[in-house]
Amino acid sequence: MTTPDKTLFEKALAAFKRSYSPYSQFPVGCALKTTSGNYYTGCNIENASYSLTLCAEATAISQMVNEGLQKIDEIFVIGQGDALCTPCGACRQRIREFATEDTLIHIGDTHGLRATFTLGDLLPHSFGPHNLEHSA
């Protein structure tokens, strides 16, 4: 299993602790590192109107793009419970927009790393920017 750098875990854990999840009581934190070495974090932000809830991965990606960066190097997602807290389908697609199929996605809990996948493992045969390239 590939070990993420300690900073990535620590930042994901700090984001996990900032989660606003009063309805589900299921906090999630995410930290991503860009190819230029910058870190961005996010936590899930729930809303009484459930469809307006934001995932941790979405908030981290939004911060990254807002800062003018668009290349994810690796991600660490922290959740709770016995099951792995992998990114939901919508977040897998969001990650795909800014990552490659080889991008590492580390999954853990508040104690540390539990599993590592590539984006290609989690989203095989994905639809991405290359699908929209026009041939000349």
Calculate the CA dihedral of residues 64, 123, 9, 97 and round it to 10 degrees: -10
pLDDT over 90 (residue 1): no
Domain spans in the chain, listed from the N-terminal domain onward: 6-128
Q: What is the pTM of this model?
A: 0.92
| Three-state DSSP state, 52 | helix
Return the active site residues: 57
User: What integer best gives the mean pLDDT of the chain?
Assistant: 95
40-95 pLDDT, tens per residue?
A: 999 999 999 988 999 999 999 999 999 999 999 999 999 999 999 999 999 999 99
Q: Identify the CATH class of 6-128.
A: alpha beta
Q: Which of 98, 106, 36 has its CA nearest to residue 65?
A: 98
Strand order across the 72-78 sheet: 39-43, 29-34, 72-78, 104-109, 112-118
Q: Which of 115, 121, 84, 111 has its CA nearest to residue 4?
A: 115
